[in-house]
Structure 1
Amino acid sequence: MSTIRNTTLSFALLTATLGLRAQDRSAGPADKKYQTEIRSLTDKPVVKKAFQTIIELEPQTLSDHILLTEIPAPPYKEMERARKYAEMLKAAGVDTVWIDNIGNVISKRKGRGGGKKTVVLEGHMDTVFPEGTDVKVVHKGDTLYAPGIADDTRALSVVLTVIKTLEKTGIETDADVLFIGTVGEEGQGDLRGVKNLFTEKGPGKIDSYIAIDGWNRESITHRALGSHRYKITFKGPGGHSSGAFGLANPHNALGRAIHYWSVAADSFSRAPGLRVTYNVGVIGGGTSVNSIPFESWMEVDMRSESPERVSGIDQLLQQAVQRALAEENKMKQRGADLTVDVKLIGDRPSGSLDTTLPLIQRAIATIQSFGSTASLRVGSTNSNIPISKQIPAITIGSGGEGGNAHALQEWWLNDKGYQGIQNALLILLAEAGIAK
């Protein structure tokens, strides 16, 4: 007998002609009130000094970036990087640093406002790459190559440089600022780090949330692309393909479930409403060509920025699974019925924020102050959680140029990367306020 490996097949059940970036839209000009506010900030001598300090810190920022990239942070195993990051945050000058119950690194720089407001600036520590991946940074000319170097390790170095800049220039904020490195942003981490921040085990009330993820300095994510992900496993007794013929076959049930869901979901996705997508990403099961499998499983994903659309396409999946189970059990000639295990492995909430919110207007005005055009977009990032709770939140880029995210040949180029840090600092200062 030969053993057949689980086959990973990607079925693009929804053929969308436009990707997420095609959903980006120009932000248009910021409200004049916020243009004036940002102009007033950038005219302050101390902010001009801070911008210059960021440029002067470039070699140190790059050194931090490389050092952290070369500390592995695979899913659910971020602790080595977390311990080092906590050490670096403390050295940068924050007041307190701690690692919470699930591994988030949280640091606080107290403001002068008596704790009335708290603003977060955050990057995620985890990468998508499994344990054992070579994360050594390779230099090719002026481009850096390494798994995770752009997504999202650059953000961690940006956060550090923002703290160092505040310390070197003596800028104090009105609001308390939490500088955080989170765990579990990627994949089946399911935003577990940021979810924990908004529980009773978190650092307390959070009033505004600024996440740094990706590198596009002009983009502002203010709409949360929610998703449900399942692992669905049909189980049966299994047996010899001839000797046990007539037993219910888990593969037959899985095939039916995929078919019924894709047909129903196709109609649903074409109906009026916000865009919704669905996908069967991974399937597996079986032992050999002449064996009735004892299990057959699939992992599926569905997404929309509308909670109702996610819920609707989820319901179609549940109906398809139960229909497939009933039909296969009815068709069997002997033996025990199949069972099915439906396990939710990912739940990212949807939501959106009004673009007139001060945080979003400040981000737009900041990007425009650099002579760039801000774009508003939907995304699946750590901001999903505060957005779903209607807490002002955005995700911004770290700056520079990057590519091949989630691939072994991921790269980052320091093309005016300092502007991304200046961008983050200015948005933070506008939101947290400069103490008088």
Structure 2
Amino acid sequence: GDPALGGTPVLACEGTWSWDPASGFLPGTLPRPSLRAESGSVIALGRPGALWCQGTLEAQECRLHREGIPEPLDRAMPLEPGNKADFPITMSMSSYHTGQYWCVYQTPLGLSQPSEPLTLVLTGMFPAPSLSAQPSPVVASGGNVSLSCGSHRVGTAHLLKEGGAGPLHSPEARFSRGAGVWQATFLLGPVDSTHGGIYRCYRADTNYPHVWSLPSDSLELQPSLSALPASLLLLGQTLTLRCHCEPSCDRYALTRPEGDTSPQHLAGQPSPDFLLGPVSGSHGGRYRCYGGRQGPYAWSAPSNPLDVLVAGMYRKPSLQAQPGPSVPWGAMVALRCGSQEAMDTFLLHREGSGAPPQHLRVPGQEIAAQSMFTLGPVTSAHRGTYRCYGAHSTNPYLWSWPSDPLQVEVSGEDPSSRLSGEHGSPRPHRLSSPQEALRVSRSLPWSPPH
């Protein structure tokens, strides 16, 4: 059973060592037994609980101890096979049964060392907290994610991963004025295959650390979808859409909004890579992927959306710089994208930039033959090769051929650097990025050629 779902716990004390007079062990130094909960040590209110202790083959008796009680809580003879001793704790879990337990076993040589302590926790005593992921539960390998456990009461938060080894403890929750709740944050990352899965969080009062709330709603770290080599490609090229699933999934499925994306209709494939191409206009669109585990219907939540953009559907526009492509530092430059066809969307892209292309949508129902993008005040960050495209808003995934490349050069140097050198002290300044400095100045109406 899953401890986060309140399964019945069974604790066990295990070992397979047998005594040899030549081994050097003395009474009191026998190997530790092991104490474990077969169904988990996090137990829902009212559920039964039983503990197991298993020693060596020479064990004659197992004794169960609990913190705060000097004498053994119970004694039991080991059962064959496996030399396990069964300790039924309760038929109805309550706060009385919480705390640390450990066991020892008796042999003709004396008592063993105590087992590692095991903590029994009760859940279901308070309302459930909330659990959210920032910036998103969609996390690529190597990325970072914060899981926030929120409650209207102060306390300590505990995060459990389904099938994980144990709870992840956080510091005391802090009040978030923006959210209006007490929040505790768990930082995960860089994310790898060990982080993927389903999480729940609990709240506990500081004075009663082993008495927890109901579990939050489950939150699953979702797969992510990426395009190799890029999501913008020309007609006839090929690309690979890769579904990243942590931990590794058994099957992968790729969907588009216009298709049937309900999980029960996903067939999937064993490979995370989906090859598209040679591409045509039918490949343009928004894609998501799913990861599957443990059967045909155990699909994950959908990944982040990924837009595949196909260029080459319309004639290429022209791109010109006004007054010219060589611009003094701090000046403004206008990039004019002109089309021979009626368009209502224009796009400007700088090669090598990780940012998406800048979009200009012609306002209202108008269509245009050209649009102006204004860059500036320019800095060294604006240097580079630019291309523009035209598109129709009715199908934003299909673009024209790219314009011929336009190289923008920035001459001179940063005036702030020159002044700081003259006066011997730096002047604080802020350089706007190309995205921050990009503005649309105007769009000119289109009229059909005569």
TM-score category, normalised to shorter length: under 0.3
* Structure ranking higher in helix proportion: 1
TM-score by length of structure 2 reads 0.17
* Structure ranking higher in strand proportion: 2
Computing the radius of gyration over CA atoms, which structure comes out larger, 1 or 2? 2
